Structure 1
Amino acid sequence: MNRGAAALHRLSIGVIGLLCLVLAAGVILHQLSVHPVEGWVDRIDTGGIRDATAAGWFAAVLVAVALLALYWGWRLIRTTIAPRRPELLVLNGSGPEGTMTVSLKQVASAVEEQLATQTVLRQVRVQAIDDRGEAIIRITVDVAPERSYDEIVGIVTPTIEDLRIALGDSDVHVQVFIHLDALQ
């Protein structure tokens, strides 16, 4: 998961929630005629608000805030769209003569074919996904319960190391999920 996008979501929701909570508490305290809050509301200068909204700069500030809110909202929506399939990966080792690109879907298929030859693994599924802007190769293996975790890690580790060498310094992450079936 892309931690930056997740932090952006949590920060946004936290700020909006905090503002709503403060506003709701203020309204409730004003309705209950609690002393300091009631006095604050009575001291609001409605004439000053009217003058500010009539000023020429108010429309520009309002448009700027609206554009900022639209941009922020679009970023939040764009990062929550369902994981996509990454198209091509441009390798960092590409030279000035041209770029070297690799289809991550084909890489995932090759890894799946390689791991499927292991008879110890019941089922192998390898996907190339784009999760919130980060390319991920996700390996999922199902294993019989009588197999040990160390044995499965020993089988999967060479494949992970091969991927790390092949992808070099690219931003592709490799995830491995090992599902040990329940004992019967």
Structure 2
Amino acid sequence: MSTSHLRLIATVAVIAASALTGAVTGLITATETVSFNSTAAATSFIGAAISGFTVLILLGGRLHPVTTPAAVAAPDTEALAAIDQLNTERRTLINTCIYVRDRATSQAIADKIGAGLQSVGVATVTPVGERFDPTRHEAGGTTPAPDPAHDGLIAVVETAGYTDRAAVLRSPIVTVYRGEGRRA
């Protein structure tokens, strides 16, 4: 909205307020013989108009259009570079935590690292009992199915997988049940 639009709106508001003030004053000051006191209404209208226009003049150049700050309108390249740097550092920390968790000899330490990863949106993927899907799982080997119904299900997770929110960081490496007579 431009400055001229704002001034026009303010002027119309002053005129409307002045007219309303005049009309109300004319009705309030009516007597038993006169139902509307036009002299009082005119005086009140002129007084309200003068007051309103005086305020507009005093505001002067202060009526400015609402604009979007430049920082919001055009992204700051330094800020974008800082965000990219933070994302790179986050990925490095996550990958390091996964590496250490895979090699931890203490289950308590592995659990603590897992809880920390989970708190920042990294989930551990251990799909035991799910149907093997080569687009989501990596087959590390097969084992005979104890029952024909188990054919194609994941028997064991050899190496856990990880997702960061929706992005796959690493697919789990799994052992898959295979029925009699089927090849891997």
TM-score of the two chains, using structure 2 as the length reference = 0.22
Q: Which structure is higher in RCO with an 8 Å CA cutoff and minimum separation 6?
A: 1
